[in-house]
Amino acid sequence: MSPYFESYLTVGAFAGLGAVLVLGMLGIAAVLRPTNPTSAKKMTYECGVDPVGSGWSQTYVRYYVFGLLFVIFEVEAVFIFPWAIILERLGVFGLVEMMIFIFILVLGLVYAIRKGVLEWE
């Protein structure tokens, strides 16, 4: 195995450990706990009240805008990583171009605030 893949072995080990932990916990619990199901126990827990409707309920369209703003600023973050790495060599020019980039994105955010999309009621 090449050193390149060896270095990624850590990632694999972590992923594997995570899976083992979760499956192990659930598995041990399944073995140790007494099983005595009743119809009341099988019901989804909802603060002691009987659940209403199905779990797959419809959400509001306003969440869509939140999701979209999340995507936008995530993409911004992705652009900032490589920018930060070579910022020193780019100098002032690099700073200005990223400022313009962020300015345009923030304008979109200000627009969302002005339209009252982010207000909760």
Asked if 120 touches other proteins (CB under 8 A), the answer is no
Question: Segment contacting other proteins (CB under 8 A): 18-26, 27-35, 40-48, 103-111?
Answer: 103-111
Place of tokens 């659930």: 26
Q: Is 52 in the site for other proteins (CB under 8 A)?
A: no
Residues 80-99 that bind other proteins (CB under 8 A): 81-83, 85-86, 89-91, 93-94, 97
Q: Does 48 bind other proteins (CB under 8 A)?
A: no
**Residue 118 and residue 112 in contact, taking contact as beta carbons nearer than 8 Å:** yes
Q: Which amino acid is at 103?
A: F
Window contacting other proteins (CB under 8 A); options: 17-25, 30-38, 42-50, 67-75:
67-75
- Structural tokens at position 17: 């450990």
Q: Which residues of 31-47 are buried (b: 16+ CB within 10 A; e: fewer)?
A: eeeeeeeeeeeeeeeee
- CB 53 to other proteins: min, Å: 10
Work out whether 45 is an interface residue with other proteins (CB under 8 A): no
Q: Could you say whether residue 78 binds other proteins (CB under 8 A)?
A: yes
Q: Taking CA 79 as the corner, what is the angle to CA 78 and CA 82, rounded to the nearest 5 degrees?
A: 95
Measured distance CA(103)–CA(110) in Å, rounded:
10
**Cα 58 to chain center, whole Å?**
20
Q: Could you list the residues that contact other proteins (CB under 8 A)?
A: 1-5, 7-8, 54, 56-72, 74-79, 81-83, 85-86, 89-91, 93-94, 97, 100-102, 104-105, 107-112, 114-117
